[in-house]
Structure 1
Amino acid sequence: MDLLAQQRFVWRRWGIRAAWLMIALAAALFCVWRFAGPAPLQTNLLALLPETEADPVAEKAVDTLAAALGERTVLVVTSRDAGHAKTAAADLAATLTASGAFRSVTAKLPPFDLSQIGGLYLPYRFNLLTPADRAVLTDGSVALHDALARRLYNPLRGGLATPLADDPFGWLEHWLAVLPLATSNLDVEDGLLVAHRGDATSVLVVATLPGSAYETQVEQAVLGAVSRGEAQLRTQFPDVSLARTGAVFYAQAARSAAERDVHLIAAVSVCGIALLMLWVFRSPRLLVLGFVSTALGIVCALAATLLVFGKLHLVTLVFGASLIGEAVDYSIQYFVVYLGASRAQRVRWNPWRGARAVRPALTVALTTSLLGYAILACVPFPALRQIACFAIVGICAAFASVLTLLPALLPHAPKRDSRRLFDAAARLLERWHRWLGGRRAWLVAALLCAVSVPGWLRLSGDDDIHLLVQRDATLAAQEQVIRAAIGVENTAQFFVVRGATPELVLQRAEALGAALDGLGGTQSVDGWQSVTSFVPSVQRQADDRALLAQHVFGDPAGLRATLVAAGFRDTVADAWLDAYRQSANAGPLTLDHWLAAPWSTPFRHLWLGATDTVPPGYAALVIPRRVNDTNRPLLERTAHTLPGVVLVDKAASVSKLFGAYRLDSMLWLAGALALVLMLSMFRYGLSGGVAVVLPVLLAMGVTLAVFGYARIPLNLFNCLALMLVLGVGSNYAVFLREGCLRDGADLGAVWTGVLLSAATTLLSFGMLGASSMPALHSFGVTLALGIAVSVLLAPIGMSTHSRSTA
């Protein structure tokens, strides 16, 4: 090589090194900048779920309820000694308040003037009747003087009692009594919310978060404060137990589990891959360079994902840790070409020529891998799209670095000869190919299919949402304790009622409420919450006023005489009759009046308000207390029979979507397989293309059969993992086939690289099987089985005329 060529060679090397250094620094600095601000790590498990509702208003309702629940943290202090439970709850509230981790902490209820509630409804009392009072007035079963007598001599008065002068017949008091203000088993004792179950007393403490439950700082502050408060309770009140629930605890548990998974997968992958590469290559330098290429892929993938999505989900982070094994495959293939060079080739070694030699195999392998990940990107699951983006950028960066950076970092021929290892691998490959190659490949395929058929016939599906989101078992148990103690209402299933105007929404919600009230026995929902419980429709108010006008105020003189005869002073009777006449000018009670009242805050989520739809409209929620497998079909039919009403069950919707996409994914897999086959046939011809694809096809069939024999139901993530089996598993046959086509290639070195690549991939992707996240566990198990069988059958894809060359 002349001096000028040497100079160009050196400048090229340093130019490539500088370019990759700039890329790495830019990606790393961007990641550091993103993590230096508000943590971009997303722990909200609901963010994993797709928009399953065809109606965007229903999706908005899901988000509204999730936000309302996410801001609250509920703690329940329980003891058999009621005094201890109350004192411990008060002490816990004081500790949590002093910690500064919460925006507000409530144990002892602040004084509240119940007359504020009655004051809102008093001007509209002639428009408000309960169903019972409405029925009595309609059928005339109770005379007015009898109703008045019951009111006057009734010794039992509720907390929302009304003055006799303002409500002589008690219609407003009856209305206030049925307001769903208390929707739990709790009673107020000593200013505390208390529930008694058997000989145990539970006291409720409610805390409001200062920010999102999924922010790292909020999680850490809340967990620390609650842990300190719990420790103090154990010291001062050994007989007291504490149960807690809230999105912040689930988010923190998910974060901790993901961090454990990341550390475990990364540690095992890195250590295992390092030991394997050291054992095979006997070169710390090659080990370091292999991890340099992998690190470039990971940091570029991390930066690209943060740039595109703004957030990095826990699932993506765990999956990203497993990408180490696939990203290092490309550098392994370059290293075997580097070490497998013959003595003559070493004398005139050119690193760029070595890169060109391995480029066809890596290009085909990259294409098949990208195909699998591209299909993941098309699935409307936010987490899968993030994973696809992360993986596509990561393996593309690793691919580019192997073909450009590694030649620049390995300019000289290797000094060590790996002939002994490669010769042993060549002998192994020759024997194994003798068993699998040629016409025997079809016999092997027939035998594997025959063995697999019974397993295929045993296959079943499982599309439960918990395959994606599995809550911490300890927290779930504590939540059940709290639900049993205080009777928390159902929030998982609800109705969304829509209409062109607020009035139409209220009328439809009233119709739905009447239909729900008509359900009895096992079909009953045990009550419901709706904004119409607080604000009837204008039509309902007009009907109630008309009913009073017909049956009560139709004879003003007789009504006045009845009041006076019962003992009311003339001035009181006249004032009440005047109030009725003047109320006609006040108009009906409106949603704006109710929403403006401070005490309506806990119930405002029932009114969704204006919707961003075309045409515009309004929406409200109706939340039944009890929804189960028995009454859900009837509730769905009820929703279908009423205009503007839809039953929203996020868990059931996602599970249904899982099932639909599980079936669709098999069609996608068939399409992807056809594309890979056409690509292989274009590169290797008809018989060569079939031979290259046959190993991975058999591997997928064997994997499905294993699931069938093991009675493991298939889920969406098993099927999507088969896409990656196709993309990754087909690489091994490609590497061997390309070795057969490459002049002077040492097939022993190629087979060594294939086995090492498979081992590293199994170490990383296989470790996903140990993940605590069910979706990633399904990915890992499927990938491990498919890749293991793919590499064992890979020699089928070799040319029948292949041989080892030294």
Structure 2
Amino acid sequence: MERLQQRGARKTWAIRAAWLVLALAASCYCAWRFAGPSPLQTDLLALLPATEVDPVAEQAVNTLAASLGDRTVLLVTSHDAAHAKAAARQLGASLTTSGAFRSVTAELPPFDLSSIAALYLPYRFGLLTPTDRATLADPGVSLHDALAARLYNPLRSGLATPLADDPFGWLEHWLARLPLATSNLGIEDGLLVAHRGTATLVTGASTSVLVLATLPGSAYEAKTQRAVLDAVAHGTAVLRQTFPDVTVARTGAVFYAEAARSASEREVHLIGAVSVCGIALLMLWVFRSPRLLLFGFLSTALGVVCALAVTMLVFGKLHLLTLVFGASLIGEAVDYSIQYFVVYLGTRRNWDARRGARAVRPALGVALSTSLLGYAILAWVPFPALKQIACFAIVGICTAFASVLWLLPTLLTTAPKRSPRALFNAAARLLARWHAAIGGRRAGVVAALLLVAAAPGWMRLTSDDDIHLLIQRDPALVAQEREVREATGVDSTAQFFVVRGATPEAVLERAEMLGAKLDALHGPQGVDGWQSVTSFVPSAKQQADDRRLLAQRVFADPAKLGTLLDDAGFRDEVATTWLAAYTKSAGTALGIDNWLAAPWSRPFRHLWLGNVGEIDGRAGGYAALVMPRRVTTANEAALIAIASALPQVVFVDKAASVSRLFGAYRVDSGLWLAGALVLVLGLLMWRYTLRGGLATALPVMLAVGVTLSVFGYAGVPLNLFNWLALMLVLGVGANYAVFLREGAGRPDADLGAVWTGVLLSAATTLLSFGLLGLSAMPALRSFGGTLALGIAVSVLLAPIGMPASPRRIA
């Protein structure tokens, strides 16, 4: 006997030591990850799945986001132009000194505009504007008139060319069409300045100066965010002391990422703190034992820390959405320990910890299976954030389940000194009355009445698949971004065309075809211009066509051309040199590489994706972007039709693509839910026979129906996250009927204690998941609200699943 006791003691300590090692390993790994570069991910695009059919289009979305992600824009505005300019210089100097940015540009460095013309000069005989092309093609227009217009035109563009190099002004005309200044900004005193309002009304006019900065690292790194926020806060604070009349608006991915991170961290702290405090108070009130409270939170903490470790190990990063959801997982993870404590406190004989674990194991096993089913469906949905949430939840509840069955029996070895018998008796009487009202033979009537009441609500259901259900942007930052956009006249669009081809030349030719079709759109369907690499580098075919036109109309008779230039006053050597340059340029064409090598092309290089290589087994070739300036609901259909009519041209609208995917998965989720119901029903029938399984599944099935009906009556449109939450209502809500039915089948169980445990489990889950309904993120709000409503109905109807004549309810 003594030897058996010693062996049992060694086994107990071995189990404790194993759990201690697991806890230390998971905790150390989490501490190590958070001690280095932050594993928290705030990139909103990381939440979204790949939505584009063409993998190059998906790559274009990521490339464009990366190229714009490290840019930060600050707009310094005042009614006093001198104050605005001086304040911008001061802010630029302050940000430079802070070291938070890789570069800061307030005053523009000296730039020789002639360097732009120098790039194009050797290729000028293949560069004609559409207007000059049409003029030369018109036999009725003489070269004499074109030359006279060039010589006697008093208006010259900023990119003027010398008469000797460009007698007819064709290159100057072409340079004037370069989209170098597609904004309201002008250069004054070496600054980028925009004037708004009426100059005669002092109070109505304002001057805005742009300050540009680039980040030293990713906008989604917490270290970068803190440094940038501190530098901008300090710079603007000092600025207000010197220039009280100056305002500063800011925009950039770093500010949105920091706002999302801060908001999520606040929600994590709020949900975690309220959940822990609320659950602690509930458990203390029911169990009246700090020891049980400690053991319950020990089991939950093990689940959370292991879930954190495994999620970071599997995914490398931890998205803030997962962290917020993880804070709400506390309410579900603690359910397993609550059920064990109920058996512990409800025992009427000598307590045996392992026998208690064996008694509660079937109920917990069935409950775990139904919960895992719901989370497994989340893991299957191709949304990265949902896969993370599913991984976190599965690991967390499995760890909590295992700790209840194997760790808690080694800690809870002594019998309870007191039991809340009065509470259990009151719960038993309440359960008896409620079961008599809705259970047994009356269950069918209750179900029929609920279905009749719910049917009109189902008929009123609507849907909303907007991507903004997933992303909630800070209103203050949105207002500042709007101010910057209105001042500069530059609108950053997430809608564009991706043009592909086997060679760079093929891409340029297709982009020119696309540009011609966009120019043909007028009225509401017009796009107000577009940006493309072909604005800077025409295709070799277009250059050859232009050269051919010049050869026919201008250089066909060199002697006549020489006489024309001589009569216009050009020296003989100028005409001779120009004619020689034409002859020398034969067979040459401006290429992409020439343009990319020019330093001034940097702001526009995102338009050329270059060699995209092989993606997903498909030959990528080369690709470029064409970005229309204005995309609206009135012209989007026309843009999609244009892309469909051109080979290897795709119109990309990430927001619309995700919204369409939301809609498709929302529709599919109805089938997933139906399939999950069948699986849960089959599991319960296998456990409780055909009739018992149907009775046990009925409460959660009715809860799903009632929840949908409430949304219909309330006029709340459904989205994917409502349906995914219903999956978890099925997985979690089924547990309550399972707990009651298993309790009714245990010969030594006190059903009053079991019902108390069910109500406490539901209360803790409602407390945690219900707080998600207060989240600032619409997706979590939909998720939490649906879960709270569904779980509340599930627990109220749970007694339906009990046998018609339960063993003992007293």
With normalisation by structure 2, the TM-score equals 0.98
**Aligned equivalent of 2:291:** 285
520, 523, 526: which one pairs with 2:525? 523
CA distance in 2, matches of 1:140, 1:203: 49
Which digits, 9 at most, give the CA deviation of each residue in 1:312-365, with x for residues without a partner? Answer: 0000000000000000000000000011101xx22xx32111101000000000
Q: What's the CA shift for 1:611?
A: 1.7
1:307 aligns with 2:307: no
**What SS does the corresponding residue of 1:526 show, helix, strand or coil?**
coil
Q: What amino acid sits opposite 2:164 in the alignment?
A: A
The equivalent residue for 1:415 is 417
Q: Which residue of 1 aligns with 2:663?
A: 659
In 2: Cα distance, 1:481 partner to 1:257 partner: 23
For structure 1, list consecutive stretches of 5 or more residues without a partner in the other structure: none
Aligned counterpart, 1:209: 215
Secondary structure of 1:365's counterpart equals: helix
Q: Which residue of 2 aligns with 1:30?
A: 29
Structure 2 counterpart of 1:372:
374
Say how many residue pairs are matched: 800
- 1:759 is the counterpart of 2:763: yes
Measure the CA separation in 2 of the matches of 1:374 and 1:805: 36
How many Å apart are 1:501 and its aligned residue?
Answer: 1.1
Distance (whole Å) between structure 1 residues aligned to residue 470 and residue 338 of structure 2: 34
- Does the 8 A contact of 1:452 with 1:702 survive in 2? yes
Q: Secondary structure at the match of 1:698?
A: helix
Q: How far is the alpha carbon of 1:12 from its aligned partner?
A: 1.3
Q: Supply the distance in 2 between the matched residues of 1:185 and 1:109 (Cα, whole angstroms).
A: 17
Tell me what 1:338 maps to: 344
Deviation at residue 467 of structure 1 after TM alignment: 0.3
Per-residue CA distance 1:556-584 (angstroms, 9 max, x = gap): 11011100000000110011001100111
Does the CA-based 8 Å contact 1:490-1:626 persist in structure 2? no
Read off the aligned partner of 2:589 and give its amino acid letter: P
Q: Choose the corresponding residue for 2:392, options 390, 393, 414.
A: 390
Correspondences of 1:342-353 after superposition (within 5 Å): 342=348, 345-346=349-350, 349-353=351-355
2:603 and 2:140 map into 1 onto residues whose CA distance is: 38
Structure 2 alignment gaps of length 5 or more? 198-204
* TM-superposed deviation, 1:805: 6.4
Counterpart-to-counterpart distance in 2, 1:185 and 1:492: 21
Matched ranges for 1:244-323 at <5 A? 244-323=250-329
Counterpart secondary structure, 1:78: strand
CA distance in 2, matches of 1:450, 1:729: 22
Match of 1:218 among 220, 224, 229: 224
Aligned to 1:155: 154
- Per-residue CA deviation, residues 365-390 of structure 1 (Å, 9 max, x unaligned), is 00000000000001111100000000
Q: Residues of 2 paired with 1:158 and 1:693: CA distance?
A: 78
Q: Aligned partners of 2:620 and 2:668: how far apart in 1? A: 34
Whether the aligned pair in 2 keeps the contact of 1:429 and 1:748 (CA below 8 Å) is yes
Identity value in percent = 74
Amino acid aligned to 1:724:
L
Distance 1:692 1:240 in 2: 67
1:786 aligns with 2:808: no
Give the aligned partner of residue 109 of structure 1.
Answer: 108
1:430-478 Cα shifts (integer Å, max 9, x gaps)? 1100001112111111111111111111110000100001100000011
CA contact (8 A) 2:72 2:215 kept: yes
Is contact 1:744-1:805 (8 Å) kept?
no
Partner SS, residue 803 of structure 1: coil
Q: Name the CA distance, whole Å, in 2 between partners of 1:186 and 1:169.
A: 30
Q: Distance in 1 between matches of 2:379 and 2:340?
A: 29
- 1:748·1:804 contact (CA, 8 Å) conserved in 2? no
Q: 1:538 aligns to what? A: 540
Is contact 2:530–2:629 with CA below 8 Å preserved after alignment? yes
> Which position in structure 2 is the counterpart of 1:49?
48
Letter in 2 for 1:596: A
Instruction: Indicate the SS of the match to 1:588.
Output: coil
In 1, the alpha carbon distance for the partners of 2:441 and 2:613 equals 64
Asked whether the equivalents of residues 768 and 780 of structure 1 are also in contact (C-alpha less than 8 Å), the reply is yes
Q: TM-score, normalised by structure 1?
A: 0.98
Cα deviation, residue 801, structure 1: 2.0
1:417: Cα distance to partner? 2.6
What does residue range 441-520 of structure 1 map to in structure 2 within 5 Å? 441-520=443-522
Answering whether residue 767 of structure 2 is matched by residue 768 of structure 1, we say no
Name the counterpart of 2:579: 577
**1:693 to 2:692 alignment:** no
Alignment match, 2:201? none
Aligned equivalents of 1:670 and 1:602: distance in 2? 52
1:231 corresponding residue in structure 2: 237
Classify the secondary structure of the residue corresponding to 1:76.
Answer: strand
1:679 corresponds to = 683
* Secondary structure of 1:770's aligned partner: coil
Deviates more, 1:137-146 or 1:98-107: 137-146
Q: Show CA shifts across 1:407-450 (max 9, x none).
A: 00011221213322211111111110000111211111111111
2:247 to 241, 246, 252: 241
Q: Do residues 723 (structure 1) and 765 (structure 2) align? A: no
For the Cα contact (< 8 Å) 2:745–2:807, is it kept in 1? no
**Structure 1 counterpart of 2:442, from 431, 440, 448:** 440
Q: For the residues of structure 2 that align with 1:616 and 1:527, how far apart are their CA atoms?
A: 28
Q: CA RMSD in A?
A: 0.9
| One-letter amino acid of the structure 2 residue matched with residue 606 of structure 1 | L
Residue type at the aligned position of 1:660: A
Q: Which runs of 4+ in 1 moved over 3 A?
A: none
Give the secondary structure class of the aligned counterpart of 1:307. Answer: helix
User: Which residue identity lines up with residue 567 of structure 2 in the other structure?
Assistant: A
TM-superposed deviation, 1:404: 0.2
